[in-house]
Amino acid sequence: MPSGTPQSGVGRTIAGRYLLLNRLGSGAMGHVWRAHDQRLDCEVALKEVVFRNPVEAIEERAARVARARAEARHAAGLRGHPHVVTVHDVLEHEGLPWIVMEYVPGALDLRELVHRRGPLAPVECARIGLAVLDALTAGHERGVMHRDVKPANILLAPDRGGAPYARVLLTDYGISVQPDAGEPRYTLTSALVGTPGYLAPERATGGPPTAAADLFSLGCTLYFTVEGCGPFERDSQLAEITAVVLEEPRPPVRAGALGPLLSAVLVKDPALRITAADTAAALTAIAAPSRPVPVPGSRTRWARPHAPTETSHNPTTGGLTAPPAVPSPPKGQAHHRERAHLLRALLACALSLVLALGGVWYAVVHPSGGGAAKPYGDAVGLARPLKDGDCVVADWPGSPFQGGPPRLTVDPTCSERTPDGQVMALATSPSADEARQQGPDACEQRTQEVREKLADVRGYAIVPTRAGFEAAGRRTACLVLGAHGPVYGPLGGHRKPGMPFVDTADMQKRDCLDAPSLRVARLVSCTGTHDQQVLGFTRLGPDTTLAEAKSLSDAACARDVPPKDYGFDPSRYEAASWTGTSAWLSGTHLVVCTVRKQNGGTMGKDEP
């Protein structure tokens, strides 16, 4: 049975041990599956080498098999690194290698995240860049060049506390190489190694793989992350390669503090390109300007004795220059300052003790009189606990999803105040401490299904305070909120058949729609007749206006979310789309992609 056929999928057991559960994704080398390790009773990811052309030359087959083995070897050498997907084993099944890797639940690659949610903030880009740079540097120290750094090879996943996208993992060492190890180059002579638009110019012109080339690719990746498109993005791969070699990157418009670094890392000449150490210092200053230290896992050699408070681009060298170090004070003056700091610290401790004792005294002498504590504290501001299905309006104290929790108000109509999101689950905990430790992770799991069906949302856990734990019913409220704006109505199972969509923000994958006109869509049951079914989402370019989108979105959906990939016969069905005002107000430019019959007829429950 040829590898890659539908029969080679779900339910197949590999090497008598790994039961394939579902396909996670596909790439140039083959498929990646979620599998159950029947021996250790745990889930793993398996990479399968696929030969789509059964008459591939023997040399090509041998090269791809060797590349798979090389990937396993190189990635295994970085085993245990916090920002590299762990490789457990490489095995052979029916004459082909399978790579057994760490399964990362809830992971989303960076390319897909940006397509779903739009460009990320410079601070978040810097955090991701630091983690990827740390992984690359670890490989470079072993002499391993990645050679294919791009958004699709960077995974973002929840951490142990349930914070979404907190883990950053570099994956796919499938075309990596150790130039100094004398190992074969497992690449066809006619093939260009890497991804057009993310290649360093010296690699595009046939130069050797180097750490500087990986750094250039990382710069292209960061540019995509903060701008929403690649610096050399063109209509064809040939045009992208030409742009990489001959043209300057298009000027960024969203990069902010990241702009000077992007200019320095995208310098054409690798000899003038900024170094990894200076890149790390610059990213650190952006990610944590008040405390410029490397992210966990970073090499301590990246830290500097006097971390710069600001950086500026040096156009003559392509690097970043830091301001001059502040001179040390005279010895006597330094001693005087140390005594002053000590005195202030003692006074602060004494004052803290007085205030703490005063608080205890006040609580004893002036009891609360039995009034119930606010379930989630003064910051959230609610006087009663949230219930499943409550629609909320969120007023963030700063940037959304950063810092403290939002101040919430409940919208009982779930429409009149244009809700920002909805309570989709409640997670019960035995104690306030366990709610704080485990509540976010429980919410991440319970809202994952509905979040994956929507184009632009994020999960958020509203955890009760210790004082309000009982008032909250011992439950953490699991919210799903619009990532860049309101959701305009109820979500998931809280929606009712016949409900009209005010906007596309709450349309979900596999929704069935009654569409009596080009401007009206209602949610209907898929067991009855319907006009369209939602398949997924795509994103139009940042310069596309809403008026232009209405004429371009059908073609974009046919290209990016083709109905044939979902089992719809292309001779009978065609792609359709819906555009909403919210996607243009937020700048995400997300489009809902649907399928409909070419003859305009209705669809039924027997559809794919």
Active site residues: 148
Contact status, residue 266 vs residue 226, Cβ threshold 8 Å: no
Q: Rounded distance, CA 346 to CA 341, Å?
A: 9
For residue 196, the surrounding DSSP H or E stretch is none
Of 588, 558, 556, the residue nearest 573 (C-alpha):
558
The backbone torsions φ and ψ at residue 119, rounded to the nearest 5 degrees and listed phi first, read -60, 150
Tokens 């974009």 appear where?
A: 556
Q: Rounded distance, CA 218 to CA 133, Å?
A: 8
The reply, when asked if residue 597 is annotated as ligand binding, is no
Radius of gyration of the chain (CA): 27
Q: Rounded distance, CA 49 to CA 4, Å?
A: 8
For residue 474, the surrounding DSSP H or E stretch is none
Of 522, 362, 390, the residue nearest 462 (C-alpha):
390
**What are the residue ranges of helices labelled H in 366-470?**
377-380, 432-453
What Å distances lie between residue 73 and 178, 179, 439, 463, CA to CA? 11, 15, 38, 43
The backbone torsions φ and ψ at residue 84, rounded to the nearest 5 degrees and listed phi first, read -130, 135
| CA torsion angle 18 20 21 25 (round to 10) | 120
Q: Rounded distance, CA 241 to CA 54, Å?
A: 30
**What are the residue ranges of helices labelled H in 411-531?**
432-453
Which residues make up each annotated binding site? Answer: 47
Which residues make up each annotated binding site for ATP? Answer: 47
